[in-house]
Structure 1
Amino acid sequence: MKKIGVFPLFEKPEAARVARKLIHLLAQAGFQVVMEEESAARLDAAELGCRKEDLPAQLDYGVVLGGDGALLSLARRLYPWEIPIFGINLGHLGFLTEVEDKELESAVEKLRRGEFVVENRIMVNAEVTSAGKQRACLVGLNDIVISKGLFSRMLRLELLIDGFFTGMLAADGLIVATPTGSTAYSLSAGGPIVSPQLSALVLTPICAHSLFNRPLVVDSNAVIEIKFTAPPHEVLLTADGQECLGLEAEDGIKIYTAPHRTKFIRFKEKSFYHILREKVKEGKL
């Protein structure tokens, strides 16, 4: 019996209703449903509860109820187990989420029959070191961002790729995005749209005040090193805009493709370019 984890985003008003419907459909289809204990309690289904730290190692699949942000969060939560996941869209954009509420029955039946494909998406990793010791590590499906605080001056950074000096950057920050994240923050900062099938990282400066103000696409095997050339007042390192770490002047940052990937379950025969065209037509990009 396949075991599937259900992860509702309860901030969405309809999440509880859709979660109960989904749990019923999955049980009818022969899946064993498990949830984090807190979520199970909120649905009066304590028998489905499992300790958060024990849950990922048990799962065959994962499904999140929410929007793209919820799917990003689940991808990081299940890292590095590489569990195939999909999202039920309860949000607005739905660029990453696969299924709408009205498509639940069809999606569960396709999952039962194995009528889906699994799409691999690279993730990006950031290591922060101080005095030669690693003090933090963040992973993102969309991007890793270095940005100045609200009242800080521009950042002055030295950029090295694969150990080679690439340039100096004076800007409000720097986005290192995966192809998945190329349609998110990086795009709004002037970066290119990159097919998710490519293995590459996109470096996009934020409000650059220097000649190095163009996006740069590098191979996914590249190692990007960033150092501060002037003491920053307030600097943040964020993963997918959801996890945040304050940086210090002496910190060194190393960014590279994460060793494990996110696996998306795809039920529909829609290409990335079809989805892109639809979202642009709807004015959502």
Structure 2
Amino acid sequence: MKSIFRQVALIGKYHAAVPPALAASSRAALEDIANFLAQAGCEVVVERDTAASTGLNGLPVADVAGLGAQCDLGLVVGGDGTMLGIGRQLAQYGVPLIGINQGRLGFITDIALDAYRTVLPPMLAGEYEEDLRSLMHARVLRDEQCVFDALAMNDVVVNRGATSGMVELRVEVDGHFVANQRADGLIMASPTGSTAYSLSAGGPLLHPGIAGWVLVPIAPHTLSNRPIVLPDAAEITIELVAGRDASANFDMQSLASLLHGDRVTVRRSQHKVRFLHPKGWTYFDTLRKKLHWNEGQ
């Protein structure tokens, strides 16, 4: 079965210092997948940091901008963190992504590594479900000047320092005052991120088809401060009123230190991440499998 995708970007796990055993394992998996894609008629281009980290040689290499310009599919081999990182970067190019899970949970890298030879062929031939996920565009404003700008697929989190007490945060929605909250922090999560940190802090699950964000306090001082679902067309502003060593995290992969008076603004990005899943896939399949719900009959 031949692929309808001509050029495929191959992206794997990469870190600043990858243990030799992990690098060898990742390289072997990537080489196997690259050969499989070539047999399906695809030209494989390896993401630059993936090639450098794993030592994968003998294939064309490109940075993210190059992948976005020339590839019509991205194949991500790793965990959800790998997918979050590349998803944010490739969203502006509209490149769809397929995730092969080499991590632990795999909410958004949903094809098992040992099953890809069976699952991928019909997807490469055009038989798949497309799943669009919204991105959050966050900025940190200090004295009305933007000092940090980032995209997030899962969540934007404002929290206290590791050794300090609670923070006090002023929350506004579209310029309207909501409340001052004293807590360990505040999570603003997308539907994709509703199964991550937000869930562990007591937030609800949001179906990806819901055009909303969920605002979840972390260990609030006032127990009536509960999670609230907001429209994703709104702009949410979180101002640091009090607290030491506070920071803002974006998908837990980038971080900005905050000063009193700093304002974190979050709005919906104009870009969306495109996920491709096997034909017949539904969001509920993922929830049953990853959250170990009783499947019943």
Normalised TM-score (structure 1): 0.92
Show the 5 A alignment for 1:196-207.
196-207=208-219
Q: Which residue of 2 aligns with 1:2?
A: 6
Match of 1:20 in 2: 31
1:247 is matched with which residue?
A: 258
Aligned to 2:163: 151
Q: Secondary structure at the match of 2:203?
A: coil
1:108 is matched by which residue type in structure 2? L
Deviation of 1:37 (Å): 3.3
Distance 1:38 1:166 in 2: 43
2:161–2:247 CA contact under 8 A, matched in 1: yes
Structure 2 residue aligned with 1:58, among 48, 59, 70?
70
Structural mapping, 1:136-215, within 5 Å:
136-210=148-222, 212-215=224-227
Which residue is equivalent to 2:116? 104
In the TM superposition, residue 89 of structure 1 has moved relative to its aligned partner by: 0.6
For the Cα contact (< 8 Å) 2:88–2:135, is it kept in 1? no
Q: Kindly tell me the number of residue pairs found equivalent between the two proteins.
A: 282
Cα separation, partners in 2 of 1:39 and 1:273, compared to 1, 3 Å: closer
1:272 corresponds in structure 2 to 283
Q: Which amino acid aligns with 1:85?
A: L
Report how far residue 281 of structure 1 moved.
2.0
Quote the Cα distance in structure 1 between the aligned partners of 2:278 and 2:89. 23
Please tell me whether the aligned partners of residues 9 and 73 of structure 2 are also in contact (alpha carbons under 8 angstroms): yes
Q: Distance in 2 between matches of 1:187 and 1:280?
A: 11
Amino acid in structure 1 at the alignment position of 2:205: I
2: distance between equivalents of 1:219 and 1:37?
37
Structure 1 Cα separation of the partners of residues 168 and 283 of structure 2: 36
Q: Does 1:49 align with 2:61?
A: yes
Shift of 1:210: 2.3
Partner Cα separation in structure 1 for residue 201 and residue 56 of structure 2: 44
Superposed CA deviations along residues 200-250 of structure 1, whole A, max 9, x for unmatched, are 0000000000255200100110110111222x3111111111211111213
CA distances 1:240-267 after superposition (whole Å, capped 9, x unpaired): 1121111121311111222211110111
In structure 1, give the amino acid aligned to 2:175: G
Deviation at 1:46, TM superposition (A): 4.1
- Identical residues among aligned pairs (%): 33
CA distance in 2, matches of 1:53, 1:149: 35
Q: Which amino acid aligns with 1:171?
A: A
Query: Does 2:43 match 1:32?
Result: yes
Distance 2:168 2:293 in 1: 38
Q: Is the 8 A contact 2:240 2:259 kept in 1?
A: no
1:245 alignment partner AA: A
**Counterparts of 1:229 and 1:44, CA distance in 2:** 49
Q: Report whether the alignment pairs 1:261 with 2:265.
A: no
List gaps (5 residues or longer) in structure 1. none
What's the TM-score, normalizing by structure 2? Answer: 0.89
Measure the CA separation in 2 of the matches of 1:145 and 1:234. 14
Report deviation, 1:184.
0.8
Q: Which stretches in structure 2 are left out of the alignment for 5+ residues? A: none
Asked if structure 2 preserves the Cα contact closer than 8 Å seen for 1:16 and 1:43, the reply is yes
Which amino acid is 1:280 matched to?
L
> C-alpha distance in 2, partners of 1:201/1:282?
24
Whether the 8 Å contact between 1:40 and 1:46 is mirrored in structure 2 is: no
Offset, 1:43? 4.0
